[in-house]
Every structure is written in C-alpha cells, then in structure tokens.
C-alpha cells in the first residue's frame, strides 16, 4: 500500500492467483480500497482525516 502525501491517493498492489500483480488506485476522498488480507475496506476519508489537503 502506498499513501500519497500531497493529494488523496492510495495505491494497493496485490498478487493474483496466476502470479501477476494487480494495481488498484483510488483518488476520491469518498472512495475506499478493499484489502483481502483483512477482509475489509480502507476508506480514504479515514486515511486523510487529519491531513490538510490544498485545493488546486
């Protein structure tokens, strides 16, 4: 999992059954990423809750 510092962006890399990598990227604060390892979702709003995000 990569978390951007300057703008809302999570990038999640996961290996598939066939050995290939899958990249899932979310940039919306209303979005979320599913993490199979914990069988749950990670909402971007919670990750960036205390981060001041500059408006462009």
- Would you say residue 56 has pLDDT above 60? no
CB 21 within 8 A of CB 5: no
Within 8 A by CB and 6+ apart from 9, the residues are: 3, 25, 26, 27
Report pLDDT digits (tens) over 23-41. Answer: 999 999 999 999 988 999 9
Q: Mean per-residue pLDDT for 8-21?
A: 95
Q: What is the pLDDT of residue 49?
A: 92
Residues 54 and 33: beta-carbon distance below 8 Å:
no
Q: Minimum mean pLDDT among 4-8, 25-29, 30-34, 43-47: which range?
A: 4-8
**Residue 1: both structure tokens together:** 């999992």
8: its two tokens: 């809302």
């Amino acid at each position: 999992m990569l978390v951007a510092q300057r703008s809302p962006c999570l990038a999640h890399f996961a290996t598939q059954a066939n050995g290939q990598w899958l990249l899932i990227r979310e940039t919306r604060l209303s979005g979320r990423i599913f993490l199979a390892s914990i069988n749950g979702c990670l909402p971007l709003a919670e990750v960036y809750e205390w981060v001041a995000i500059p408006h462009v």
